[in-house]
Amino acid sequence: MSDVLLAVGTRKGLFLARSSGAGSFDVEPIQFSTVAVHSVAIDARGERPRLLAGIEYGHFGPSVMYSDDLGKSWKEAEKPPIAFPESTGATLEKVWQLLPSPSEPDVVWAGVEPGALFRSEDGGITYSLVEGLWEHPHRAQWQPGGGGLCLHTILAHPTDPKVMGVAISSGGFYRTSDGGQSWEAANQGIRAPFLPEGQQYPEFGQCVHKVSLHPARPERLFLQHHFGVYRSDDFGGSWTDIGSSLPSDFGFPVVVHPGRPDTLYVLPLHADMDRTPVGHRYRVFRSDDAGATWQSHGEGLPQVPVYASVLRDAMTATALDGGRAGVFFGTRDGSVYGSHDDGETWAAVADHLPDVLTVRAAVL
């Protein structure tokens, strides 16, 4: 059985959980108690893993903390690790995403609110603004989604550091092929039904909830939209609807199996105005053919009615022994569930936590 480390960021603190055999987990005492943890990352690229946490200290503001001893102690840069240049007139509100680069050893990316991308070259200790995206001419027309004007998804190409994609709510999906100097909107085929007839396929302004890729096939993307589930086979050049056979195509997370590029997971909610699990049961829908067909998996999940949703970063997957995926998700009523068999069966990892905002997993 693979030893898994889970990092669970909640509205009121961070929880680390370690597998203890037979798929069960030991949950460590709370860290950053009463502090919102909007993003976490487990950076396993170096000789020892580094944990990163994007926290929000209330009236003290947001910051990024890091730990090189698996959470026994935490450090923070001497100056604010992420800060907008004074010339922008902007103030950092939240750190929504932290992503260690798969192709550059010391680079870590951060997505923040208000919709911006930052780059670190010292392993996530300090960051600088990616000005090419900040200065994009569409910026003035981006509108915040329900969670704010957040850059919540960063897709870094596994081998080419010049190629990246980001998703902004509600700006849409943008991509670069020159390392972030210039960016183009890449939303062709994504429908925005809230717009007037004849204007429902805009160049930008789509409310993207999450985007995922598999490093073995980085040109293929999977996207959970506010109104649909989509696939792109050309890194966002065009998108195809793959959600029509789901019981609902509204939801937040979309996760790709770490070993199988055609396998992905979503967790549908009833609708925009009813953000509860379909049928009031937690059911993870898996596709093994890139979205052509879907199967429901819920064995081991609660059989009583449930009403809490799962947020965009509160679902994750990591590679286990034998090519299997460990799949994990947390709910807004503080429960965390995990599967060690590709999502076929599930078991509780933790209960009675605060509102789960983000979940990340790694085998160490």
pLDDT, mean over the chain: 96
**Comparison of pLDDT for 95 and 145, the residue scoring more:** 95
Assess whether pLDDT exceeds 80 at residue 59. no
SS3 141: helix
**pLDDT computed for residue 24 by the predictor:** 87
**pLDDT computed for residue 195 by the predictor:** 87
Using CB atoms within 10 Å of the CB of residue 192, give its burial: 0 to 12 exposed, 13 to 18 middle, 19+ buried.
buried
Q: Using one digit for the tens of pLDDT, what is the confidence trace for 165-176?
A: 999 999 999 999
- The amino acid at residue 206 is Q
In this structure, of 15-24, 58-67, 136-145, 148-157, the range with the lowest mean pLDDT score is: 15-24
**pLDDT computed for residue 217 by the predictor:** 97
**pLDDT computed for residue 22 by the predictor:** 63
What domains lie within the chain, and their CATH numbers? Answer: 79-363 (2.130.10.10)
**pLDDT computed for residue 51 by the predictor:** 98
**pLDDT computed for residue 21 by the predictor:** 64
Assess whether pLDDT exceeds 70 at residue 91. yes
Q: Using one digit for the tens of pLDDT, what is the confidence trace for 94-120?
A: 999 999 999 999 999 999 999 999 999
**pLDDT computed for residue 319 by the predictor:** 96
Residue keyed to tokens 């990591």:
318
- Contact in structure between 54 and 94 (CB atoms under 8 Å): yes
Assess whether pLDDT exceeds 80 at residue 76. yes
**pLDDT computed for residue 299 by the predictor:** 98
Which residues make Cβ contacts (< 8 Å) with residue 129, sequence separation at least 6?
A: 84, 85, 88, 116, 117, 118
Q: Using one digit for the tens of pLDDT, what is the confidence trace for 302-331?
A: 999 999 999 999 999 999 999 999 999 999
Q: Using one digit for the tens of pLDDT, what is the confidence trace for 162-218?
A: 999 999 999 999 999 999 999 999 999 999 998 899 999 999 999 999 999 999 999
Give the span between the Cα atoms of 168 and 217, in whole angstroms: 23
Give the span between the Cα atoms of 46 and 351, in whole angstroms: 32
Q: Where residue 57 falls among pLDDT bands split at 50, 70, 90?
A: confident
